Structure 1
Amino acid sequence: MTRTAGTLTRYAALGCLGYVLAGLGAILPELRAERDLPRGEAALYPSGFALGLVVVGLVGPRLVRRLGAAALPVCLAALAGGCALLAFGGGRVDSGAGAVLLGLGGAGLVQIVPAELRAAHADGGTVAIGEANAVSSAASVLAPLVIGFVLGQGLGWRAGFLVPPVAVAVVLLVVLVPGRAPAVVPPDGDAGAGRAPRAFRTLWVDLVLAVAVEFCVLFWAADFLHTGKGLPSGGAAVASTGFVLGMAVGRALVARAIRLAGDDLRLLCSATALATVGFAVFWAVPAAFAAVGGLFVTGLGVALLYPVTLGQALAAWPERPVRAAARCALASGVAVGAGPPLLGSLADLSGMRAAFLLAPTLLLVLLARCVLRLASRNQARRSEPA
């Protein structure tokens, strides 16, 4: 696969988003303390991202066609502006608006980057999408480390949450002047597009489950380590890096894992089982060190779920690449908008330890769906005439 300057630029754009999303999880305990919020309400900040995903999922194809080459710069500007408004908004309305603006920009990147990578690479973009998510995961490793460091230095969470992604976004905006980095997504020609194929709809549900697990752990791991394992807030933010570090390692190896497995469906079954085992260690073992190790294994398994399922979903509707990417963004919006807030509300009612069992429940549902599909496919192959 040839990695052009445009490919690397899109990797960096997704890296900004990865940093911001991991940063949101790391600062949730600080936001709750600073603004005296229950967990259910604090989870509404990440839900701004979910709202953006839903909006983009519904109207994204039309926006992409209208913005053309300006789509990626506009999304980056919205991401950076939303971060600033969330950090410095004077009240809940201002900061909530910042979360929504951040979500719109981030959701646009979720739609545009995979579709452009898929269109730009002859292999269908699965490897490029996996590498882009690996960059995003690597950036997300930095977020809790940087935020934990600045908290330890008494500098406040804003310095760690805001400065790095905004600085990178500004650099990319200088590079991504409209006309210098033309969009590579082909026209859908889908003003009256019909219903999505059945295979796409099946994978859409899998995508909801995979993303819900990822963001439940991403947003609430630091809180669980703080309240459930007794770590201080700065230490919990740093320890939560175990998950995003596992994600980064897993996504860096996604191309090799696909080649070794030789089959996306078997790979999904194995990755889901690995994530479930890792979560069991994270949740059940009292020692913080062992829990972080389980969190790393969880991230290692979860890392493969989104890029592999996304690649399958986009391939299942090749005639409508922009619409397919928008519908996948909608799946992510449903997952992020439902999963983390539900977990936060359950934690307010029954405690974080019991509420966190939502994540392995979703993993087991996803595993059952993948195993049933694998068994059905194997049965169909055995019934074929020799």
Structure 2
Amino acid sequence: MPRFTRDRTTWLAYAQLGLWGFFLYGFGPVVPLLRDEQGTSAAVAGLHSTGIAVGSLLGGALFAPLARRVGRGAAIWTGLAGVAAGVTAFGVARPLPATIAAVVVIATFGMIVISGVAVVLTARHGPAAPAALTEANAACAGLGILAPVVIGASVDAGWGWRPVMAVEVGLIALVALAFGVRPRQTAPAAAAPGGPVAVPAAPAVPAVTPGNGMDLGRNRPLRGPESSKISSAGGQLPAAYWIAWTLMAVTGSIEVCLSLWTADVLRDHSGLDAGAASAAVAAIVGGMFVGRLVGGRFALRYRPVPLLLGALGVSLAGFTIFWTAPVGWLAVVGLVVLGLGNALHYPLAISIALAVAGPAADKAAGWASYSMGVGFGIAPVALGWLADGVGPYLAFLLLPGFIAAAAVLATRLGRALHAGTPADDPQPTPVGAG
């Protein structure tokens, strides 16, 4: 089992991703409230998710050149500063075009944060990166639990949803003060927490590179030239990466549809009022938090693809409970189970994608944001369009289709990873992570 040590850089990365999670998991419950405020249809309100998709594309394109110019650490802090500015604009804007534009800004800088954290943790922890990324996303969900609860309390108090945006800005300022943002240029292996890290032409990411790769089919390092069967030379992204990329788009569709429209289903089908329905979305995030805490240990012991397939099965079970529940409390139980399954979708997929990318890790992290853009841009609008016609409850039947598609892609990914590793390679001692 790879050795996994959490240093100050690791904890900082967790906190930075958590700040993004607070906005992301608060954004979903806000959309139905914003729809009521602006008097739009579900499909039109879903354009806010399209704004996240557009921002994701922009942020993905900006991350690699920004990281090369100022370093990964400084790029992450730049992203958080941009999120704070965008959240402020979102909190004071009223017209539909203005709120969509603010969401584009937030997502652009948020994607820089996500990409930076993923690459930093992968470079820092090597074979233990799946565990580190799972825990980072646990922190994301952990802080995200607070957002729906704060929104629900604020709505019940008659203040509306906008005060939660001020809470987001305050949390960003608090983390900046706690960790400091003073840049210190150091080598990647000894990166200063929060400071810029020089990004060499071939980043020293302990992923799938000749002599220092990870056999993701067996959760152990690869040796020798066989590892090049998975990763591509010259910074090119291999076929396994693009399967993982598509998988992230599909699982991202599951998560964003749940985030945006669960509150509507709880209001229309389970009889909860607006405040209670918004707060109940925290059940999904709570399940994800627990799932990622536990999943981090599983990721050190079990192969990523079978673990991912198991997680998809749990998600399907949770959706079945939620969708068939005749009462509100049972629907919330289903959401918790759904969250437990969803917890491992993104962390496992992105860890595989970055591992197989080898020396093209920064490029791979940037392209990964495009998969999120696809998921956030298409699925919620499609579900909103269906919801306008048949209601959100029946429209939610799109989700089992997404889960089935993700299972097919995960199976293909497992075959691609297995085909790229030697069957008779002896079991070496795992490489420890710093």
Does structure 2 retain, via aligned residues, the 8 Å contact 1:271–1:305? yes
Matches of residues 345-364 of structure 1 in structure 2 within 5 Å?
A: 345-364=385-404
Corresponding residue of 1:219: 260
Corresponding residue of 1:83: 87
- State the one-letter code of the partner of 1:330: Y
User: 2:384 pairs with 326, 344, 369, which one?
Assistant: 344
Q: Deviations over 1:10-61 (max 9, x none)?
A: 2111111111011111112210111111111112223222212111223421
Does structure 1 retain, via aligned residues, the 8 Å contact 2:153–2:275? yes
Corresponding residue of 1:333: 373
Matches of residues 70-219 of structure 1 in structure 2 within 5 Å?
A: 70-159=74-163, 161-174=164-177, 175-179=180-184, 181-184=194-197, 186-189=199-202, 195-219=236-260
Aligned mates of 1:182, 1:256 — CA distance in 2: 29
Does structure 2 retain, via aligned residues, the 8 Å contact 1:188–1:322? no
Corresponding residue of 2:314: 274
- 1:39 matched to 2:80? The reply is no
Corresponding residue of 2:293: 252
Aligned mates of 2:81, 2:418 — CA distance in 1: 48
**Matched length:** 383
SS of aligned partner of 2:183: coil
* Shift of residue 297, structure 1, vs aligned partner: 0.6
Aligned mates of 1:369, 1:384 — CA distance in 2: 26
| TM-score, normalisation: structure 2 | 0.82
Taking only aligned residues, the RMSD between alpha carbons, in angstroms, comes to 2.5
SS of aligned partner of 1:121: helix
Does structure 1 retain, via aligned residues, the 8 Å contact 2:27–2:260? yes
Q: Deviations over 1:132-178 (max 9, x none)?
A: 1000001111111111111111122111x212221111123342233
Aligned mates of 1:206, 1:94 — CA distance in 2: 32
- State the one-letter code of the partner of 1:248: F
Aligned mates of 1:184, 1:6 — CA distance in 2: 12
Aligned mates of 1:379, 1:77 — CA distance in 2: 43
Aligned mates of 2:397, 2:237 — CA distance in 1: 33
User: 2:361 pairs with 321, 324, 329, which one?
Assistant: 321
Q: Which has the higher helix share?
A: 1
Does structure 1 retain, via aligned residues, the 8 Å contact 2:14–2:140? yes
Unaligned runs of 5+ in 2: 185-191, 204-232, 426-434
Corresponding residue of 2:61: 58
Does structure 2 retain, via aligned residues, the 8 Å contact 1:124–1:315? no
Corresponding residue of 2:229: none
* Segment of structure 1 superposing worse, 50-59 or 139-148: 50-59
Aligned mates of 2:245, 2:47 — CA distance in 1: 24
* Shift of residue 90, structure 1, vs aligned partner: 4.0
Aligned mates of 1:117, 1:247 — CA distance in 2: 20
Q: Deviations over 1:116-143 (max 9, x none)?
A: 1111224352221111100000111111
Aligned mates of 1:318, 1:19 — CA distance in 2: 31
Q: Deviations over 1:172-229 (max 9, x none)?
A: 3342233473234632459x96541011111111111111111111121111111221
Does structure 1 retain, via aligned residues, the 8 Å contact 2:21–2:141? yes
Sort the Cα spacing of 1:218 and 1:77 in 2 relative to 1 into closer, same or farther, 3 A. same
User: 1:305 pairs with 332, 339, 345, which one?
Assistant: 345
Aligned mates of 1:373, 1:105 — CA distance in 2: 30
Sort the Cα spacing of 1:129 and 1:376 in 2 relative to 1 into closer, same or farther, 3 A. closer
- State the one-letter code of the partner of 2:155: L
Identity of aligned residues (%): 31
Sort the Cα spacing of 1:379 and 1:165 in 2 relative to 1 into closer, same or farther, 3 A. closer
Aligned mates of 2:398, 2:277 — CA distance in 1: 21
* Shift of residue 362, structure 1, vs aligned partner: 0.4
* Segment of structure 1 superposing worse, 210-219 or 306-315: 210-219
Does structure 2 retain, via aligned residues, the 8 Å contact 1:73–1:177? no
* Segment of structure 1 superposing worse, 2-11 or 25-34: 2-11
Sort the Cα spacing of 1:367 and 1:178 in 2 relative to 1 into closer, same or farther, 3 A. same
Corresponding residue of 2:406: 366
Aligned mates of 1:197, 1:258 — CA distance in 2: 23
